[in-house]
Structure 1
Amino acid sequence: MASPWRGLSRTVWILVVARAVNRIGAFTLPFLGVVLTVEFKASLSETGLILAVFGAATIPSRLLGGQLADRLGRRRTIVLGLTGCAIAQLWIASSHALWSAVLATILLGLAFEIYEPPSQAMIADVTEPADRPAAYGLYSAALAAAGVLAGLLAAAISHWDLRWLFVADAITCMSCAILVALALPTDVRRERSPDRPATVWRDSRLLLLLVGGTVFATIYMQLVIGVPLTLLEQGLPESGTGIILAVSAVTLIVAQRLLRVQHLDDFRAIAIGYLLVGVGLVVTAIAHSLTVFLLAAVLWSLGELFLLTRYLTQASGLAPEEARGRYLAVFGLSWGIATTIAPLTVTQLLATTGPAGLWLTTAAAAGVLAVLQPWFRKRLAPV
C-alpha cells in the first residue's frame, strides 16, 4: 500500500520529528492531578480547582502563540513556548510546598499552548489543502508513536517518584526546542494587518467550529484527567495509566496504517469518530479491571483517529494565509476552555455520580455530536 505521507515537505517531517521528541516526555499532564493529590496532599476539590486554573492559563497562551506566529515568526514562537514549558516543569519537580507547585502549574499553563498555533500554521503553510489531512495525520501518528514509549516510561517512573516525570518532560522540551531552532527554515516576515483580529472574531464559521471543537476537546481532556483518577477510585495501580497510554498510542499507529480515513469526507469521519469514542466511554463506565479499561482505550483511540486531524483541517481551510496563526489560535481556544472545564466536571461527577456517571454523561455528549454532523455540514459550507 502506498504511504499516505509520501511527498510531504521536509519542513513537515522536521516538525513531526521535533514534536515526537517532545511527546516522549509529555506524559505529565495525566499525572498532574495525581501528583497534586499524592505528593502535595491536595484534596480532590483543590486538585480540580488547580487544574482548572491551569486550563484557564492556557487560553491566553494559545492566543499569544497565534499572535507571535504571524508577527514574530513560526520558528521563534515554537522555541519560546517550549523553553517556557521546560522551566515550568523543572519548577514543579523542585517544589516542596503546594503553593509553589500551584505557581509553577500556572506558569506551565501560560507557556503550554504557545507551541501549537505556529506548528499547525507551518504545516498548513507548506502543504496543499488536499494534502493537509495526511500531513496532520502524520503529525498525530508521530505523537502516537512517541506515546508508546511515553506510556511505558510513565508506567516505569511512576513506581519510583512522580516528580521525575516533570524532569523528563523538561529535558524533551529543550531537546525539541534545539531541534526546531537548528533545523527549521528561517522565519518569513508577514505583513501586519490591523483589521485581522476583528475579522477573525467575526468569522461565524470559525466560531461555530470552535464550539464543536470545544466539545471534542472537553471529552478528550476528561479522558486525560479522569482515567487516572478513575483508576484510583477503582483501587487499580497508578502504573495502569501508563499502560493505557501505551495501548492507546499503539492503536492510533496501527489504525493509521490500516484504515485509510484520509479519503473520508470530513463530517462523515467526525460522526464515525464520535460514535467510536461514545462506545469506548460506555465501556469505560462499566470497567472494573485494567483489561476492560484497555479495551475501552482501543475503542476511544480509534474514535480519536477519525477526529483529531479533521478539526484542524477545517480550521486551517477557513484561514487566509497571513492570519493563519491567529485563526488556528482562536480555534485552539477549544483546548484551553476544555482544560478549564474538564477538571471541574471530572472531579464533581466523580464525587457525585462515581465513575459510571462521569463516563456515561461524556458518552452522551459524544453521541449528540455524532448526530449533529449533518447540521454542522450545512453551516460550515463555503460561502
Structure 2
Amino acid sequence: MAERAGTGRRGLIPDLPRQAWIILGGDALSAVGNGLVLPFFIIYLNRVRGLDIDTAAYALATTALVGFVVGPIGGWMSDRFGARRIVILSLVISALGSISIALVRETWHAFAAAGFFGSGITLFWPSVHALVTTIVAKHQRSAVFSVHYAAINLGIGIGGLLGGFMVDTADASTFELVYYLDALTFVPFIFMLVFFVRNVGGAVRPDTVRSDAEPTGIVAPSYLSVLRDKRFLRVLMLMTLLVTIGYGQLEASFPAFATRPGGISTRALGATFAANTFFIVVAQLLVLRWLDGRRRTRAIVVLALLWAACWGTVLFGGTLGSGMDATVVFAFAAVLFAFGETIVSPTLSPMVQDLATDQTRGRYSAVFSMTWMVGSVIGPAIAGFFLDIDKPGALFTLLIAACIGAGWMAYNLEKHIPDDANLVRLADEEETELTAPEAAGVEVVG
C-alpha cells in the first residue's frame, strides 16, 4: 500500500475527526441554551417566583453540591457503561431539569429542580471529556479541548445576549420560555450523538491496567487507584488553587468590588464580561497555535502571572471611581483573565487525559471536575469574608500572592509529569518528521 507523509503544520482551525466536530457543535448549541438562563436563575426565583434571595441562592448552590455525590457515580458509570451513553443520559436529565425549573411554584420545587438539573450537568462534564478523548488522537487533545472551550463561550455569549432581550420580571412566561428553549437546545445534541456519533465511547473492559503509581505496575481500575496516582494529585491541588483564586473570584470578588458603592454600573460590568468572552472566542485558537511545542507546565506559569496582573489591575481600577476610565481598566483586567483562560483548556484537561488510562478515564475526569466545585465554594467564601470586613486591598494582595504561588507549583510540577503528558503537540510527530525520500516527494511503499 502506498502512503505519503502528512504535511504536519496546518492552518488555524485544528484538524479534528468529523465525530469530534459533531460533539463540539452539539455542545455549542446547548451552550446557547445555557446562556439563555445562566445569569437569571436567582432573579427568576426571587423576583418571579417570590422566594427570598437567600433561599434562591441556596437553591443555586444545590446545583453544585449534588456534584459531590453524582460526580463520582458518573465517572464510574462512564468507565463501566461507556462515555457516549452517559453523555446522552446527562443531556436527557439536563433537559428535564430545565423544564422542571420552569415549573417551579413552591420552595421545595426549586431545590428539587436545581438538584435534578445539577445532576445532569455533573454527569455531563466527565463523560464528554472522556468521549472526545477517545475520538481524537493523543496529539489532538489540546486542540479539541481548546475548541470546546471557545465553542462553549461563544454559545453562552450568544445565549446571554438573547436572554437579556427576552426576559421580563413582570412576565413570568418569558422566564418559562427561556427555560423551555434551554431544554430544547439539548435535543439536537442528543440526536447527533444517537445517529452520527456511533461505535465510539463504548465501555472498556475493566481489566487490570498499567500504573506508574503502583510498585507492581499493575492495579485494578478504581477510584482508589486514581487517588494513588501522586502525579494526578499534584495536578488536582494546582487546579483547585487556580479555580479558587481565579474563576471563583471572577464570579464573586470581581463583580462585587467593581460595582461597589462609588464603582462602575452593572451595565458597565456587563461590558467587561462581554470583553472577556469576546477575547476567549477570538484568541483561543491563536493561543493554541502559540503553545504548539511548548510545555504545559510552563504555559500554566504564564497563566498564573496573567491572573496576578489581572488582580493587580482590578485593585488599581478600584481607585478610579465610576467613570469611563474605571470601566476601561476593569475591562482590561477581564481580558487579562481571559488570556489566562485560553491557556487552561489546552493544558490541564488534556494533561489529565494523558495521565489516565482508557479503563479509568471517566474516574479521572470526574475527580478533576470536582476541583471546580471545591474552588467555586472556597473562592466566593474567601471573597465574602474580606469584602464583608471592607478589606478589598488585602483580598486582592492575597490573590496576587496566591497566583505567584500557583506559578511556582506549576513550575515544580514539571519534574513529576512525563514528557508525553506535558507537551502541547498539534501534529503527530510521525507526520512532521519526513524522511529524506518523503521530503523529496518520493512515494514510500510499505
Q: Given the two structures, how large is their TM-score scaled by the length of structure 1?
A: 0.87
Partner letter of residue 88 of structure 1?
G
Counterpart in 2 of 1:196?
221
> Contact 2:247 / 2:376 at 8 angstroms: preserved in 1?
no
Secondary structure of the equivalent of 1:322?
A: coil
Deviation at 1:262, TM superposition (A): 3.0
Show the 5 A alignment for 1:1-383.
2-27=10-35, 28-36=37-45, 38-39=47-48, 40-43=50-53, 49-157=58-166, 165-186=178-199, 187-193=201-207, 195-197=220-222, 198-218=224-244, 219-225=246-252, 227=254, 233-234=260-261, 243-259=271-287, 260-263=289-292, 264-285=294-315, 286-287=317-318, 288=322, 290-353=327-390, 359-381=396-418
Q: Specify whether residues 114 and 356 from structure 1 end up closer, same or farther in structure 2 by C-alpha distance, changes over 3 A only.
A: farther
Between stretches 252-261 and 110-119, larger displacement belongs to 252-261
Partner Cα separation in structure 1 for residue 344 and residue 337 of structure 2? 10
Which of these two proteins has the greater Rg computed from alpha carbons?
A: 2
Q: Specify whether residues 295 and 36 from structure 1 end up closer, same or farther in structure 2 by C-alpha distance, changes over 3 A only.
A: farther
Which structure's residues are more often helix, by fraction? Answer: 1
> Contact 1:156 / 1:239 at 8 angstroms: preserved in 2?
no
> Contact 1:207 / 1:331 at 8 angstroms: preserved in 2?
no
> Contact 2:30 / 2:189 at 8 angstroms: preserved in 1?
yes
Any unmatched runs of 5+ in structure 1? none
Q: Given the two structures, how large is their TM-score scaled by the length of structure 2?
A: 0.76
Counterpart in 1 of 2:437?
none
Partner Cα separation in structure 2 for residue 232 and residue 96 of structure 1? 32
Deviation at 1:134, TM superposition (A): 1.4
> Contact 1:61 / 1:113 at 8 angstroms: preserved in 2?
yes
Q: What whole-Å deviation, never above 9, does each CA across 1:283-315 have from its counterpart, x for those lacking one?
A: 334354544432222110011111222111110
Deviation at 1:227, TM superposition (A): 4.9
> Contact 1:22 / 1:169 at 8 angstroms: preserved in 2?
yes
Secondary structure of the equivalent of 1:332?
A: helix
> Contact 2:204 / 2:358 at 8 angstroms: preserved in 1?
no
Secondary structure of the equivalent of 2:204?
A: coil
Deviation at 1:229, TM superposition (A): 5.0
Between stretches 358-367 and 271-280, larger displacement belongs to 358-367
Any unmatched runs of 5+ in structure 2? 1-8, 209-219, 422-446
Secondary structure of the equivalent of 1:309?
A: coil
Q: Specify whether residues 126 and 294 from structure 1 end up closer, same or farther in structure 2 by C-alpha distance, changes over 3 A only.
A: same
Partner letter of residue 191 of structure 2?
I
Partner Cα separation in structure 1 for residue 178 and residue 309 of structure 2? 31
Partner Cα separation in structure 1 for residue 15 and residue 191 of structure 2? 26
Q: Specify whether residues 174 and 336 from structure 1 end up closer, same or farther in structure 2 by C-alpha distance, changes over 3 A only.
A: farther
> Contact 2:42 / 2:53 at 8 angstroms: preserved in 1?
no
Secondary structure of the equivalent of 1:7?
A: coil
> Contact 1:70 / 1:326 at 8 angstroms: preserved in 2?
yes
Deviation at 1:272, TM superposition (A): 0.8
> Contact 1:134 / 1:262 at 8 angstroms: preserved in 2?
no
Q: Specify whether residues 355 and 103 from structure 1 end up closer, same or farther in structure 2 by C-alpha distance, changes over 3 A only.
A: farther
Partner Cα separation in structure 1 for residue 380 and residue 303 of structure 2? 23
Between stretches 330-339 and 95-104, larger displacement belongs to 95-104
Partner letter of residue 247 of structure 1?
A
Q: Specify whether residues 171 and 351 from structure 1 end up closer, same or farther in structure 2 by C-alpha distance, changes over 3 A only.
A: farther
Partner letter of residue 189 of structure 1?
A
Partner letter of residue 369 of structure 1?
A
Partner letter of residue 121 of structure 1?
A
> Contact 1:51 / 1:343 at 8 angstroms: preserved in 2?
no
Percent of residue pairs identical: 24
Partner Cα separation in structure 2 for residue 162 and residue 359 of structure 1? 36
Q: Specify whether residues 66 and 240 from structure 1 end up closer, same or farther in structure 2 by C-alpha distance, changes over 3 A only.
A: farther
Deviation at 1:60, TM superposition (A): 2.5
Q: Specify whether residues 280 and 88 from structure 1 end up closer, same or farther in structure 2 by C-alpha distance, changes over 3 A only.
A: same
Secondary structure of the equivalent of 1:155?
A: helix
Q: What whole-Å deviation, never above 9, does each CA across 1:44-66 have from its counterpart, x for those lacking one?
A: 5x565444443221123322222
